[in-house]
C-alpha cells in the first residue's frame, strides 16, 4: 500500500453561500514508501487545505484519504486522531516551538505524550538534534536560536514519534534564501535517513527539483510536471 493515497478529493469553503470558494475539485495523489514529493502551487491555491486533509486535520467534502492502506473517510474522530499521532508529522512555515522549553524538551515532550519513557525520549531527541547539526543547541530555548535553527528543531519535533508520513507546508518559507537552502537540505536528508515519505509544499522550483517527484496544484487538481 502507498503511505498516502488521496483520490477525488474535493473541498469548498462556505458552500452554498455567496462567498463560497471551491479550493479542491478532484485531487489525486499517491505517495509510495520512502518517496519525497514536492507540492508546488502559488499562494492561495489550496496547499494548506490539501495538507490538512491528507494529515487528517480537516475533512474533505468528497473523495477518499487512505493512510498506510487504511481508508479514513468513515473512521471515528478517535481513530483519526490515533492514526494522525502515530503516522503523520507536520512542519509549518513558522516553527511553533514552545518558547519556555529548550530544544531538547520540545522534541522530548511529544514522545512523553505518546507514552515513551523519559530515557528513550531523551535519547531519541538527542539523536535527532545531532542529525541536523544541533547537538550543541539542545539546552537552548527557541528565542536563543536563529530562524534556521528553530526550524531544524521543528523538523526533529515532527519526527519525534517516528511518523511514516511527513507533511511540510513551506517549511523554509520564512527564512532568507541562503539559509532556506541549507535548512531545506537538512530536512530532505533527515527524511531520507529515516526512510520516511514526505509531501513538501514549496513555491521554490529549485528546491522542488531536489525531490523525487513534483506535482502542481492547479484549479483544484494535482498535475505531475
Ligand atoms: P495555500 O496554502 O495554497 O495558500 P489555502 O489552502 O490556505 O491555500 O487556501 C486556499 C483558499 O481557500 C484561499 O482562497 C483561502 O482564502 C481559502 N480558505 C482557506 N481556509 C478557509 C476557511 N477556513 N474559510 C474560508 N476560506 C478559506
Ligand atoms: P542558521 O543558518 O541555522 O539560521 P545562522 O547563520 O542564521 O544559522 O546563525 C549562525 C549562528 O548565530 C547560529 O548558530 C546561532 O547560534 C547564532 N544566532 C543567529 N541568530 C541568533 C539569534 N537571534 N539569537 C541568538 N543567536 C543567534
User: Residue 43: what pLDDT?
Assistant: 87
**Closest residue (by CA) to atom 10 of ligand 2?**
146
Taking 70 as the pLDDT cut, the residues of the chain under it are: none
> What is the CA(91)–ligand 1 centre distance, in A?
18
Closest listed ligand to the CA of 184: 2
Closest listed ligand to the CA of 142: 2
User: Residue 62: what pLDDT?
Assistant: 97
Give the whole-angstrom CA distance, residue 70 versus residue 134.
36
* CB neighbours of residue 24 within 10 Å: 25
Give the angle subtended at the CA of 202 by the CAs of 200 and 204, to the nearest 5°.
Answer: 135
Structural contact between residues 16 and 184, judged by C-beta atoms closer than 8 angstroms: no
Structural contact between residues 61 and 12, judged by C-beta atoms closer than 8 angstroms: yes
> What is the CA(207)–ligand 2 centre distance, in A?
22
Ligand 1, closest atom to CA 48? 2
Q: Which residues line ligand 1 (CB under 6 A)?
A: 13-14, 21, 23, 41, 43-49
Ligand 1, closest atom to CA 45? 3
**Closest residue (by CA) to atom 5 of ligand 2?**
146
Angle at which helices 177-194 and 147-159 pack, to 10 degrees? 20
User: Residue 39: what pLDDT?
Assistant: 98
> What is the CA(104)–ligand 2 centre distance, in A?
17
> What is the CA(100)–ligand 1 centre distance, in A?
31
Residue with cell 515513551: 116
User: Residue 2: what pLDDT?
Assistant: 96
Span 154-190, pLDDT tens digits: 999 999 999 999 999 999 999 999 899 999 999 999 9
Residue 179 in contact with ligand 2 by CB distance below 6 A: yes
User: Residue 74: what pLDDT?
Assistant: 82
C-alpha cell at 61: 467534502
Give the whole-angstrom CA distance, residue 112 versus residue 125.
11
Span 19-45, pLDDT tens digits: 999 999 999 999 999 999 999 998 899
Q: Is the ipTM of this complex over 0.85?
A: no
> What is the CA(215)–ligand 2 centre distance, in A?
33
Give the whole-angstrom CA distance, residue 39 versus residue 66.
18
Closest listed ligand to the CA of 17: 1
Amino acid at each position: 500500500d502507498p503511505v498516502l493515497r488521496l483520490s477525488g478529493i474535493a473541498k469548498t469553503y462556505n458552500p452554498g453561500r455567496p462567498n463560497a470558494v471551491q479550493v479542491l475539485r478532484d485531487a489525486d495523489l499517491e505517495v509510495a514508501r520512502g518517496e519525497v514529493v514536492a507540492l508546488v502551487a502559488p499562494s492561495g491555491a489550496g496547499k494548506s487545505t490539501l495538507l490538512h486533509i491528507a494529515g487528517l486535520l480537516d475533512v474533505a467534502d468528497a473523495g477518499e484519504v487512505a493512510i498506510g492502506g487504511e481508508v479514513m473517510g468513515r473512521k471515528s474522530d478517535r481513530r483519526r486522531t490515533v492514526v494522525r499521532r502515530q503516522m503523520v508529522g507536520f512542519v509549518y512555515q513558522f516553527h511553533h516551538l514552545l518558547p519556555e522549553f529548550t530544544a531538547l524538551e520540545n522534541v522530548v515532550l511529544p514522545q512523553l505524550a505518546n507514552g515513551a519513557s523519559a530515557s528513550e525520549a531523551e535519547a531519541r531527541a538527542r539523536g535527532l538534534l545531532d542529525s541536523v547539526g544541533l547537538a550543541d543547541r539542545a539546552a537552548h530555548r527557541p528565542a536563543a536560536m536563529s530562524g534556521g535553527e528553530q526550524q531544524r528543531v521543528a523538523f526533529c519535533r515532527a519526527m519525534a514519534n517516528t511518523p511514516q508520513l511527513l507533511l511540510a507546508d513551506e517549511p523554509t518559507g520564512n527564512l532568507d534564501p541562503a539559509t532556506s537552502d541549507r535548512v531545506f537540505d537538512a530536512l530532505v536528508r533527515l527524511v531520507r535517513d529515516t526512510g520516511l515519505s514526505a509531501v513538501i509544499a514549496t513555491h521554490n522550483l529549485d528546491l522542488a527539483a531536489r525531490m523525487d517527484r513534483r506535482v502542481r496544484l492547479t484549479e483544484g487538481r494535482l498535475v505531475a510536471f
